[in-house]
């Protein structure tokens, strides 16, 4: 028989665990409301077009960066390091300017050249960004004063890791979305679908723990998530492929004078039904994009979740439950988008490796992005070379 004192202590511990569990367990109604709000906002953004999607991606990037910076300041036990906060945001702006300035400056050069200020901002953005970065290093060194220097250098190292891990993937995802919103929607949606299917299968069939970092994850949920994600992602890809709003690239419209999705584009061969011989005597008409969406879904359900496990290990290492409390019932922005950064890198590498446009089409696109004057100069140069070779 257990002594009364031990029984009392045991009851107190169980009561404390119960109270703590009630504190950390989110209200399911709160989660549902927040989820519906995020879903409706996402659909509204998709309706607005690729530039709205790009702006949203950059906003998510900013908030994720802020959440991790806040944690870094806290664990260093000195949130008020003189001028370091300004340095952190300075590097963040410079990195985004360098990466995005080159992308938009090259793709919409003919537009920006018509405006003196935009031309100044986007011309030679890589060189300007490099100079601004070195200027930030000089500013950092000048502000070293002996006190807190170890913490400064530690934070500077973390800062550069953050810039690579957060800003680079979002830049790549923006670049993909300009080729057609479907290249941003399918990766993002596949991760969300995997979360849903893994949760459902885990609750219904889950018996075997998957990984120590996330005790609630099960092998049955993981495998069920893979199957459900692949089927639902291919179905979603088939649905979106029917609309030019999702598959057409973002271009400058000479008639309206604005940058928008070209609704009258000719869909690429990826979205044209093709006859596939499945086996002797049996063939099917499929979109090549169905196969692309299969690989995206497979990566989203088998590899991308480990970014979430990594984030769980990070939070456990610093003894925190969520990155922040920005989204009621869900935690921080990074708690919802941790796997998306890995997906962004994969989709960009996949597109650049297996979906390369022909060199002639790429060259033609570069020429068409030149200003009217530069196009005439290019024409005169090409004409003179061909005449010298007796090809004209």
For 322-371, give the secondary structure using H, E and C: CCCCCECCCECHHHHHHHHHHHHHHHHHHHHHHCCCCHHHHHHHHHHCCC
Bridge partner list, 260: 251
Task: Put residue 307 in one of left, alpha, beta given phi > 0 → left and psi -120 to 50 → alpha.
Answer: alpha
CA 299/CA 341 separation, integer angstroms = 13
Residue for token pair 């690429």: 268
Task: Place 78 in a pLDDT band, splitting at 50, 70 and 90.
Answer: low
Domain-ending residue, one of 145, 162, 178: 178
Per DSSP, the chain holds a count of helices (H) and strands (E) of: 17, 6
pLDDT of residue 222: 93
Query: Are 75 and 203 part of one and the same domain?
Result: no
pLDDT of residue 280: 80
Query: Are 337 and 274 part of one and the same domain?
Result: yes
Q: Residue 344 belongs to what domain range?
A: 181-355
Query: Are 219 and 334 part of one and the same domain?
Result: yes
Task: Say how far residue 290 (Cα) sits from the centre of its chain.
Answer: 21
- How is residue 173 written in tokens? 């995802």
Query: Are 211 and 267 part of one and the same domain?
Result: yes
Query: Are 116 and 259 part of one and the same domain?
Result: no
Q: How many domains does the chain have?
A: 3
Query: Are 171 and 221 part of one and the same domain?
Result: no
Tell whether the model's pLDDT for residue 246 goes beyond 50.
yes
Query: Are 172 and 271 part of one and the same domain?
Result: no
Q: Classify 275 as helix, strand or coil.
A: strand
Q: Classify 207 as helix, strand or coil.
A: coil
pLDDT digits (tens, 9 = 90+) for 179-203: 899 999 999 999 999 999 998 999 8
C-beta atoms surrounding 140 within 10 Å? 18
Tell whether 337 is covered by a domain.
yes
Phi, psi of 207 (to 5 degrees): -135, -35
164 versus 12: the higher-pLDDT residue is: 164
Query: Are 214 and 232 part of one and the same domain?
Result: yes
Tell whether 1 is covered by a domain.
no
Q: Classify 209 as helix, strand or coil.
A: strand
Burial 207-217 (b: 16+ CB within 10 A, else e): eeebeebbeeb
Tell whether 8 is covered by a domain.
no
pTM: 0.82
Query: Are 209 and 347 part of one and the same domain?
Result: yes
pLDDT of residue 13: 43
Query: Are 392 and 258 part of one and the same domain?
Result: no
């Amino acid at each position: 028989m257990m002594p009364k004192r031990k029984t009392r202590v045991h009851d107190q511990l169980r009561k404390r665990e119960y109270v703590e569990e009630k504190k950390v367990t989110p209200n399911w109604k709160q989660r549902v409301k927040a989820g519906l709000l995020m879903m409706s906002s996402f659909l509204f953004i998709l309706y607005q077009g690729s530039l709205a999607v790009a702006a949203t991606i950059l906003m998510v990037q900013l908030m994720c960066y802020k959440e991790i910076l806040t944690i870094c300041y806290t664990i260093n036990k000195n949130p008020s390091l003189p001028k370091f906060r300004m340095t952190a945001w300075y590097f963040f702006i410079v990195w985004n300017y360098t990466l995005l300035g080159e992308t938009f400056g090259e793709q919409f050069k003919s537009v920006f050249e018509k405006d003196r200020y935009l031309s100044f901002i986007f011309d030679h953005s890589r060189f300007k960004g490099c100079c601004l970065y070195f200027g930030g290093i000089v500013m950092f060194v000048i502000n070293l004063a002996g006190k807190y220097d170890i913490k400064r250098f530690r934070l500077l190292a973390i800062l550069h890791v953050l810039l690579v891990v957060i800003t680079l993937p979002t830049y790549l995802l923006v670049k993909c979305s300009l080729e057609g919103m479907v290249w941003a929607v399918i990766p993002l949606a596949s991760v969300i679908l995997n979360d849903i299917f893994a949760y459902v299968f885990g609750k219904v069939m889950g018996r075997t723990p998957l990984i120590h970092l996330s005790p609630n994850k099960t092998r049955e949920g993981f495998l069920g998530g893979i199957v459900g994600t692949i089927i639902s992602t291919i179905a979603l890809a088939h649905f979106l492929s029917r609309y030019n709003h999702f598959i057409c690239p973002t271009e400058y419209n000479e008639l309206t004078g604005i940058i928008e999705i070209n609704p009258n584009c000719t869909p690429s061969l990826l979205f044209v039904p093709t006859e596939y011989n499945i086996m002797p005597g049996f063939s099917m008409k499929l979109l090549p994009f169905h196969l692309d969406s299969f690989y995206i879904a497979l990566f989203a359900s088998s590899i991308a979740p480990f970014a979430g496990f990594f984030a769980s290990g990070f939070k456990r290492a610093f003894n925190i439950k969520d990155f922040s409390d920005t989204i009621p019932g869900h935690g921080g922005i990074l708690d919802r988008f941790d796997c998306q950064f890995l997906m962004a890198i994969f989709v960009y590498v996949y597109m650049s490796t297996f979906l390369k446009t022909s060199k002639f089409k790429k060259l033609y696109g570069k020429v068409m992005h030149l200003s009217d004057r530069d196009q005439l100069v290019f024409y005169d140069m090409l004409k003179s070379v061909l005449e010298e070779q007796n090809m004209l």
